Amino acid sequence: MRVTLTDGKIYDARWKRSINRKFEGESLTDTFCYISEVMPGVEGRDKYREISSGVTFLGNKDVKAFKKSKGRKLSLARALKDKFSRNERILFWLEYQSSCKN
């Protein structure tokens, strides 16, 4: 998901799901959100510089109820929390609502 802020900077938010933990024999899914600044590169290839990241760990009580959309929203909120102003966060959420299907 790409977001252009009012100052012209472009950011890219990506998610990665990781099934790397087990609890009572079940695989648990964690969601990571990485926000990178997009900088113009050579020959049309953009360069990415990671600015922030957020993670949502699936709790043991959530084994049956955890959803992909819930993990994306929580990890995005955590990645945005300390690095971006309120107005910048609003732009990220508007883009999230228009581009993600959840």
Specify the 3-state DSSP secondary structure of 77.
helix
Quick one: pLDDT band at residue 99, thresholds 50, 70, 90? confident
Return the domain boundaries, the chain.
2-99
- Token match 């964690």: residue? 30
- Cβ count near 63 (within 10 Å): 14
Amino acid at 33: C
- pTM higher than the cut 0.75: yes
The mean pLDDT value for 37-41 works out to 84
